[in-house]
Structure 1
């Protein structure tokens, strides 16, 4: 237990080692009890301290020093209501004896959300001519917070939290939820008791990871995540990638740690989690590094640190994955201090699957008191906007220290003990429209050998065709071939899958339509070996209507084919052009042939020998879908390549 500032001040000014300074009263009995209380407090015996102070006050109810001391002890114990009453009694006795009592009482009112009363006491405190500049600044700032909170309460946001139920929540504390993009897997931290039997029974509490799987709308009974990760020490503050295969978490006081707390990661293959690995420098340092939040595809990490290079006490940093070394270890960039940080504390970051929306907690901005939740948005994670308070009653006078949002952007999950539950529980609520991030859909399935059906380890890429930026780069599971990739709305994508010894797979997604923005899809990907007769549809080769001029956004796809041909120098291919059945046969045959020739010409321009290339127009003779509707016709209008040697 730390000695509080008020206690130190009291004992400097009103409890000297000798009796050179007079007390406000003359009762020797009361003073003796008061001084004995001071000894008990120094010995960290709060219960005896309060008993002695009660006796001193009973001897003389106007003993203002005893009331102030009592309030301070109650403050250290978190007994706000009793603390407030003690401060009020001290002020009733003498309102000018110790000016800081008005500041302390205002803080106590603010802590329990009594904003009007807090305002009055801050104003009373500021009316004194001789007060410390530090407390004066704090009082002005907190007075501003009171006004802000009062206005927030006049304009509440929609907030109707629902307990996730007995599958997730128990009689113990559950907190720090992490969610896969499809909302089928929930990982969280549970604080469970551990009984140690000895001469006496001692109950310790330990943080471990638990997981629950969703069955329709119900969460199944949670189970421990992994004995490989959970240890006899504490593990907590975890974050998982959108596919649930990578987890980053906080562990403290480990032998291999670089600082007080470090960030570790583990990888799931099949149903097994790997042994955790310390992320190492430069993410971890000699300082406190914790509370990671990983981007959907695992390429950008946000975390909290109190390293000396920070702007405030606790700051949020961002680091980018540079490479995965041959031994499986990850190498990260030098962390960047985010512009949302203040001189105080920023904590519990959460980056949404869109990679453009950050939630975090701060006690250094205008808020309701304590830690409030804020949002900031960015342009591809570069320039962050001025943070916005999420409003009341999402934020209250208490500490709000964590919130995650689903990929669809309409639901939020958080942990709280301020609502009806069994201690600290995890809740879900509909996120107000004004706070919803850009919607993110997702695509998931399995990658496998087209012939043997063997599940494959493959590299999958999602690229924005307009900007040519890589939006996501992930791998399928080595054991079961599973993958999941997020598709942020409002863009057009090239999606590809590659595995050694196989032809690449190509697909195209356009998420501009409102329905497509929030429509998850399942897509199993069969990969074909580099054998004669196997072919690939180039779904990201584009032409204008009735034209064979290749559009610029086709270059990404065609360059992938160039790379394949350069790496496989013995391959010979045929480029095939296909149309739907609209228009005359002669027209379609000419169009498909010239489109195939355009692709051949591009490959030759990029250094591929013309002796390895042939082309042919097939018109509408080889449809792969119906020509009865536009969706089918659009699939039939395509360019393919086929291995001929």
Structure 2
């Protein structure tokens, strides 16, 4: 009887069941009531309900029987039925059990009936029997219900589109993740195990066809998928690194750990445990920033489900994970983080920030390494009274992907996409997709290194290595000015200046072939990120990224002798342009000398406007003509 005594004590506020005089005097009703309690104690919930109902049929005013019937229904998660019996309780006597109002409000909220939740929580909050502690708690819940009702009354656009039978099947598909260019989707599919009454989770991949449809999804090739479960993953912007979750493996540190696999050609390597991220507890649901330098994940290492962050260090190891601040992590649970390619908008699921009920999806904006904005609910009906999690938003911020049990799908869970609210992603992201080839034979150059630098602070904004076809992919968040450098052994490096001050989106990418020139006599390379103010020969601070690249190039090729050539447009006199161009070339020369490059390896010369590479009659042409070049004079 201990369990039911506890329940009754909670409901009625007394310590002894037998000291409480029941509201019914009917012996048959009381007999059925007591039999129901015994059935409940033995977990015979449905039989207990029938007995409670018999007691009610005998005595329709038997209020305790209504209360316990409602209690049993709530234990069975049959909240609509529970509400019916709690409402009957307050109809009989509104003061007998004030907590009935609280439960009606709570279960109405949990089932998406927000107006009812507010109505009954207000009745509970204003009930004269509440003590100050109860009233304070009631006020907190009432505010949550107010917020949910406000979201419900102001829905955001939401028209989910099923990704179709090439992605979805008769099984469950979920956890979608896309490359930065939206060309490849990797997701989890739960499939039956042959000859066993069980299922397993594996990764599947599909590529987008030219007509916008998806090709038939196939399992990832290689050693990544195993007879065990793999899921809750994130992929790098270029689709070549995959972090995921696996549980109860022999090399695991906790119940679930984060693992990593690399794509080589078209196959994936055997997964490795990322030990520096994992604990002896539960670690899961990683999300990788587009630049590959930051990872967020969910962990139970401190007792709660919280979101943690780690940063890639110079030794290619992750730093010790740290929890996000308390305005994100609550006393309840935060899960399924997703960092948008803009690097500052973090989405996550939580049941600790209020919302529509269950887990809702929220977003927060990164202010700096330690500060984030107050999380905001992404809105109804994206969020519902059910658990909502695992949202993926593409680089442009135009579309989001998620899994759901929406009716008329192909299986249990299907993957859907929808147009995402426009006000959330304020810094859209485009990308640079390049194919690096040898200028002489057009053959792809494998393992060339593409580095993207922010000229604002010289930080690395992205890094990629070319694949077997010479391709690479780098994200480009709008609002920045970048230097792109591409280098390979025995080649001059490539330099490009990219300005994204105006907002772009991922439908307007930079896609181009990049031709690297072998290091040999008379080859010329333009340094597009050596910058000067108008009519000046003083190097702008943004130039030092490229100057450092040039310095390292000369260190790596100690036998080179080069000429630094300065060039101008045709504005100004020829004599003046010759002088200005020589001063600019000497500024680069002086920098290299200051870095202890042997002066015998360096020459400098000003060419003025005598060697244009574009039409000087247009601003764009004049911009191209204002340049600094290096020319190979000697290569031993």
Structure-2-length-normalised TM-score? 0.88
Distance (whole Å) between structure 2 residues aligned to residue 500 and residue 627 of structure 1: 35
| Match in the other structure for 2:230 | 235
* Distance in structure 2 (CA, Å) of the matches to 1:521 and 1:245: 19
- SS of the residue corresponding to residue 432 of structure 2 reads strand
Distance 1:492 1:85 in 2: 62
In structure 2, relative to structure 1, the CA distance for the partners of 1:266 and 1:55 (3 Å cut) is farther
Q: For 1:66 and 1:396, how far apart are their aligned partners in 2? A: 32
Q: Distance in 2 between matches of 1:362 and 1:507?
A: 43
Residue 188 of structure 1 corresponds to 187
Q: Secondary structure, in 3 states, of the residue corresponding to 1:550?
A: coil
The secondary structure found in structure 2 opposite 1:368 is coil
Unpaired runs of at least 5, structure 2: none
**What displacement does 1:588 show?**
4.0
Matches within 5 A, 1:383-422: 383-417=371-405, 421-422=409-410
Q: Which moved more, 1:546-555 or 1:604-613?
A: 546-555
CA distance in 2, matches of 1:488, 1:563: 27
- Judge conservation of contact 1:412–1:429 (CA < 8 Å) in 2: yes
Distance in 2 (CA, whole Å) between partners of 1:136 and 1:366 is: 18
C-alpha displacement of 1:90:
4.1
Give the direction of change, closer, same or farther, for the CA distance of 1:407–1:558 in structure 2 (3 Å limit): same
Q: Cα RMSD over matched residues?
A: 3.3
The answer to whether the aligner puts 1:9 opposite 2:12 as a matched pair is: no
Change (3 A) 1:379 1:585: same
The answer as to 2:458 corresponding to 1:459 is: no
Q: Deviations over 1:255-299 (max 9, x none)?
A: 222122211111112111111111113x21122211111101221
Whether the 8 Å CA contact 2:36–2:49 is kept in 1: the answer is: no
Per the alignment, residue 365 of structure 2 pairs with: 377
- 1:259 aligned residue: 254
Return the offset for 1:173.
2.9
* 8 A Cα contact 1:462 1:493, kept in partner: yes
Residues 630 and 374 of structure 1, relative CA distance in 2, 3 Å threshold? same
Give per-residue Cα distances to partners, 1:110-146, cap 9 Å, x unaligned.
Answer: 1112222222322343455666887655432221112
Match for residue 83 of structure 2? 84
- Post-superposition Cα deviations, 1:575-622, rounded to whole Å, max 9, x if no partner, equal 122334555554444443332233222222332222111123334454
Corresponding residue number in structure 1 for 2:272: 277
What is the CA-CA distance between 1:388 and the residue it aligns to? 1.9
Contact 1:84 1:109 in 2 (8 A): yes
The residue that corresponds to 1:612 in the other structure is 601
Q: Give 1:322 deviation, angstroms.
A: 1.2
3-state SS in 1 of match to 2:629: strand
1:144 paired residue number: 143
Are the structure 2 counterparts of residues 385 and 515 from structure 1 closer, same or farther at C-alpha, using a change threshold of 3 Å? closer
Structure 2 residue aligned with 1:212: 206
Unpaired runs of 5+ residues, structure 1, are none
Question: Partners of 2:108 and 2:474 in 1: how far apart?
Answer: 48
Show the counterpart of 1:554: 543
Counterpart CA distance in 2 for 1:306 and 1:134 is 30
Partner of 1:594: 583
Residues 1:571 and 2:571 aligned together: no
Matched, 1:538 2:527: yes
Shift of 1:347: 1.7
TM-superposed deviation, 1:445: 1.7
Match of 1:334 among 299, 302, 321: 321
Q: 1:138 to 1:499 in 2, by over 3 A?
A: farther
The partner residue of 1:429 within 388, 412, 418 is 418
Give 3-state SS (helix, strand or coil) of 1:604's partner: helix
Count of residues in correspondence between the two structures: 626
* Deviation at residue 103 of structure 1 after TM alignment: 2.1
Pairwise CA distance, 1:178: 1.0
CA shift in 2, pair 1:338/1:641, >3 Å? same
2:247, 2:256 within 8 Å by CA — same for their partners in 1? Answer: yes
Deviates more, 1:57-66 or 1:499-508: 57-66
Question: What SS is found at the alignment partner of 1:218?
Answer: coil
Say whether the 8 Å CA contact 1:316–1:338 is kept in structure 2. no
Q: Could you say if the C-alpha distance between residues 13 and 139 of structure 1 is closer, same or farther in structure 2, counting changes exceeding 3 Å?
A: closer
From the superposition, tell whether residues 555 and 6 of structure 1 become closer, same or farther in structure 2 (CA, over 3 Å): farther
Residue equivalent to 2:305: 314
Q: Summarize the Cα distance change of 1:256–1:557 in structure 2 as closer, same or farther, 3 Å threshold.
A: same
Alignment of 1:58-73 (within 5 A): 64-73=63-72
Question: Structure 1 residues 629, 333: closer, same or farther in 2, change over 3 A?
Answer: farther
Say which SS state the counterpart of residue 596 (structure 1) adopts. helix
Partner residue in 1 for 2:492:
503
How far does the alpha carbon of each residue in 1:433-459 deviate from its partner, in whole angstroms, 9 at most, with x for none? 221231111001223444452432133
Question: Alpha-carbon deviations, 1:48-94, whole Å to 9, x = none?
Answer: 55556556656665555554444344334433322322333444455
| CA displacement 1:342-386 (0-9 Å, x = unmatched) | 222222211111111111222222422222222211235542112
Call closer, same or farther: CA 1:190–1:114 in 2, change over 3 Å: same
The aligned residue for residue 355 of structure 2 is 367
Distance 1:97 1:173, change over 3 A: farther
Where 2:544 maps in the other structure, the secondary structure is: helix
In 1, Cα distance between the equivalents of 2:447 and 2:282? 36
Paired residues of 1:447 and 1:457 also in contact (CA < 8 A)? no
Q: What is the alpha-carbon distance in structure 1 between the residues aligned to residue 341 and residue 540 of structure 2? A: 30
Q: Which moved more, 1:579-588 or 1:186-195?
A: 579-588
Query: C-alpha distance in 2, partners of 1:50/1:232?
Result: 44
Question: CA–CA distance in 2 between the matches of 1:4 and 1:465?
Answer: 69
- Offset of 1:301 from its aligned partner? 0.5
Q: Could you tell me which residue of structure 1 aligns to residue 513 of structure 2?
A: 524
Cα distance, 1:625 vs structure 2: 4.3
1:550 to partner: Cα distance: 2.3
Contact 1:163 1:426 in 2 (8 A): yes
1:110, 1:397 within 8 Å by CA — same for their partners in 2?
Answer: yes
SS in 1 for 2:187: strand
